[in-house]
Amino acid sequence: MNIKLQQNKTLPTKENIDAISNWLIIFAHHPEKKTSEKAAFAYQDNLLTRHRQLDLKETGNTPVVLDLPNKNSSHVAFAKIEATLSSFDLLTLARKMVAAHASFNPVKMGLVVSGFTETVSERVAEALLSAVLAASATMPTFKSAKQTPSKCNRLFLYGVRTRHGFMQSFAMAEGNALTRNLSALPPNKLTPTAYLKQIKALAREHKWKLEFYDEATLKKKKAGAFLAVAQGSPKADAGIVRLRYTPKTSNGEKIFLVGKGICYDTGGTNLKPANYMFGMHEDMQGSAVALGILLALTKLDFQRPVECWMALAMNHIGPLAYKPNDVITASDGTTIEVVHTDAEGRMVLSDTLALAAKEKPALILNYATLTGACIYSIGTAYSGVFTNKKEWHTSLIKAGEDSGERVWPFPLDEDFDEMIKSDIADVKQCSQENGVDHILAARFLQRFVKHDTPWIHIDLSSSNRKGGLAHIPTDTIGFGVRYSVNLLLNNYLNK
């Protein structure tokens, strides 16, 4: 992202404000203070007066918008908040504030954070910066009319100055933008072939080692579960991508990122109805999330080796497509009775996880737009999280609260396996009963994570949300990049 940030510990002067036409301003509300607030910077009185005229609550996540009485009629979105405002609400507020400037498409913007402690000031500034970066990312468009991309290339931050220059925020924003960009591409533009071509270009740019297990290789590895899904495609371009990032100096064991990359999901033989098939080009978002995380960690010179495993395929209909009651054998020897061909994600991931787990990583993080049941359970504002380390539940929730990408854990008790018990194979692919398919899918996947490998699976129920989520302004969210980078960099699993 070609946006430069200039930090200033002091608050802006009148001259500073007059020189920039677009501003985002957040100042602190201190409910314990009964006296009137003293203006800390130029035009603060104007903002507070407008706030009172609108008869707003003392604080909230709805910004106030006005033009200042200066020569540029500087356009300002501002808010008063308490320091305890949650990360999710803070990011949501920041998104709304940035949206107030969308019609201007400014080249430069001013950001002001005033009245907080140093730690809180940095958190508030980070939210504003993240919202600007998310809104500035270029998304795919195929309209005949020429589209104007974001012109923003300079940010002037007042009231906060850090040594790190918000490097993590820039890296996460770049990773998220990559995820959203790939996920938004139409299915005729992002086939497995086209996807692999883009991955190869990224690997060259960032010096990742790349291996591609094509269908011939997967046959040798006896990856029958993956190949069952791929066999319905008219073109044999499915396969598993394995990318390796190796830091210059390493101080930890390797972490694996595994993602579902179904570039389009018709449902297969169990064809989806039209309303449920539309949008299925985003069924590869799990793989794009894993790729976005790898990019962000690379940008930050992460000090542990990381591998990204991406299961790329299409779930097509056709005379060769797999079908209910088929029995296939996965690469680890597990026999699977097929119940519903629209449960293809767990099929391609089972072999991908089995092959990845053979390498005995210290941790596997798994991402997939896997089940409608997870959306029915918690909606699209949260994503579901599952792990074979039950003691991590509290830490996983906390990482979501702190990052603003919220998750909620579900149980993985062994008795759920009764619902996927098969009479003729080791396991059923899914159950014909309704209700807990998100849990059954996770139980199914867990079978393939061998060698006592710690494993976290995120069912991306919040991968797409109308109007955006937190700081992300597009329907395609790219959920998981910010969450996972924070989870790994801030050591939540070791606290």
Of the residues 96, 346, 406, 482, only one is catalytic, namely 346
The residue-averaged pLDDT of 414-426 equals 98
Name the one residue in this structure whose structure tokens are 């079908």.
Answer: 323
Please return the burial class of 153, using the count of CB atoms within 10 Å of its CB with bins 0-12, 13-18 and 19+.
Answer: middle
- CB neighbourhood size of 58 (10 A): 11
pLDDT 10s digits, 357-415 = 999 999 999 999 999 999 999 999 999 999 999 999 999 999 999 999 999 999 999 99
Task: Report residue 450 as tokens.
Answer: 């061998």
User: Is 84 domain-assigned?
Assistant: yes
Place of tokens 């003691």: 391
Residue 436, pLDDT > 70, answer: yes
Question: Distance (Å, rounded) from C-alpha 23 to C-alpha 98?
Answer: 9
User: Residue 114's pLDDT is what?
Assistant: 93
Instruction: State the pLDDT at residue 222.
Output: 98
**362 shares a domain with 477:** yes
Q: How far apart are CA 280 and CA 276, in angstroms?
A: 8
Q: Residue for token digits 């270029």?
A: 138
Pairwise CA distance, residues 425 & 421, whole Å? 8
Does 192 lie in the same domain as 241? yes
Same domain, 369 and 419: yes
Per DSSP, 284 falls in state G
Question: What's the chain's average pLDDT?
Answer: 95
CB 266 within 8 A of CB 277: yes
Asked if the structure places residue 166 within a domain, the reply is: no
Contacts 24+ apart (CB under 8 A), 32-40: 40/11, 40/114, 40/115
| Sequential DSSP letters for 440-472 | HHHHHHHTT--TT--EEEEE-TTSB-TT-BTTB
Residue ending a domain, among 160, 184, 200, is 160
Which burial class, exposed, middle or buried, applies to 56 when counting CB atoms under 10 A from its CB (0-12, 13-18, 19+)? middle
Q: Clarify whether residues 203 and 256 are in a common domain.
A: yes
Residue 153 domain-assigned (yes or no): yes
- 130 located within any domain: yes
Specify the pLDDT at position 30. 75
Amino acid at 226: F
| Whether residues 151 and 203 fall in one domain | no
Domain boundary residue, one of 136, 160, 184: 160
Nearest Cα residue to 327 out of 242, 467, 251, 428: 428
Question: Is residue 204 domain-resident?
Answer: yes
User: How far is the C-alpha of 447 from the C-alpha of 450, rounded, in Å?
Assistant: 7
Spatial CB neighbours of 87, under 8 Å, sequence gap ≥ 6:
123, 127, 401, 402, 403, 404
pLDDT grade for 52, boundaries at 50, 70 and 90: confident
Token pair listed for 393: 């539940």
Annotated active-site residue 346? The verdict is yes
93 and 213 inside one domain: no
144/40 same-domain check: yes
Residue 281 maps to which CATH number? 3.40.630.10
Instruction: Say if residue 292 is in the same domain as residue 397.
Output: yes
Question: pLDDT: is 455 or 63 the higher one?
Answer: 455
Q: Express each pLDDT in 385-401 by its tens digit.
A: 999 999 999 999 999 99
| Distance, CA of 460 to CA of 477 (rounded, Å) | 10
Radius of gyration of the chain from its Cα atoms, rounded to whole angstroms? 24
DSSP letter assigned to residue 492: G
Whether residue 165 lies inside any domain: the answer is no
Q: Are residues 374 and 429 in the same domain?
A: yes
Residues 409, 361 share a domain: yes
Residue 35's pLDDT is what? 47
Token pair of 470 as six digits: 């937190």
Tell me, yes or no, if 95 is annotated catalytic.
Answer: no
Of 160, 185, 200, the position where a domain reaches its end is 160
Domain membership of residue 21 (yes or no) is yes
Specify the residue for token string 């799990």.
Answer: 286
Q: What is the rounded (10 degree) CA torsion for 68, 71, 75, 80?
A: -30
128 Cβ contact partners less than 8 Å away, ≥ 6 residues apart: 24, 26, 94, 97, 98, 111, 113
Pairwise CA distance, residues 304 & 248, whole Å:
9
Write the DSSP string, 82-112: -TT--HHHHHHHHHHHHHTTTTT--SEEEEE
One-letter amino acid at 75 equals H
With a pLDDT cut of 70, the percent of the chain lying above it is 97
pLDDT of 188 above 50: yes
> 3-state DSSP: the chain helix, strand, coil percent, rounded to 5?
35, 20, 45
Buried b (16+ CB within 10 A) or exposed e, 109-127: bbbbbbbbeeebbbbbbbb
**CB of 263 closer than 8 Å to CB of 312:** yes
Is pLDDT of 53 > 90?
A: no
Which CATH number goes with the domain that contains 145? 3.40.220.10
Q: Which of 254, 272, 304, 398 is catalytic?
A: 272
pLDDT of residue 31 exceeding 80:
no
Q: Helix and strand tally (H, E) in the chain?
A: 15, 17
Largest CA distance in the chain: 79
Task: Give the H/E segment covering residue 19.
Answer: helix 14-19
Look at residue 296 and tell me whether its pLDDT is greater than 70. yes
Does residue 296 share a domain with residue 206? Answer: yes
Q: How many domains does the structure of the chain reveal? A: 2
Residue 4 has pLDDT above 90, yes or no: yes
Amino acid making up residue 306 = V
Q: Which of 412, 387, 359, 404 is nearest to 493 (CA)?
A: 387
DSSP assigned state of 433 = S
Q: Which two tokens stand for residue 409?
A: 């854990």
In a domain, 437, yes or no: yes
pLDDT at residue 59 greater than cutoff 80: no
> What ranges in 185-233 are assigned the alpha helix state H?
192-206, 215-220, 224-230
Specify the pLDDT at position 420. Answer: 98
| Domain co-membership, 256 together with 383 | yes
Q: Which domain holds residue 373?
A: 171-494
CA atoms within 13 A on the CB side of 32: 1
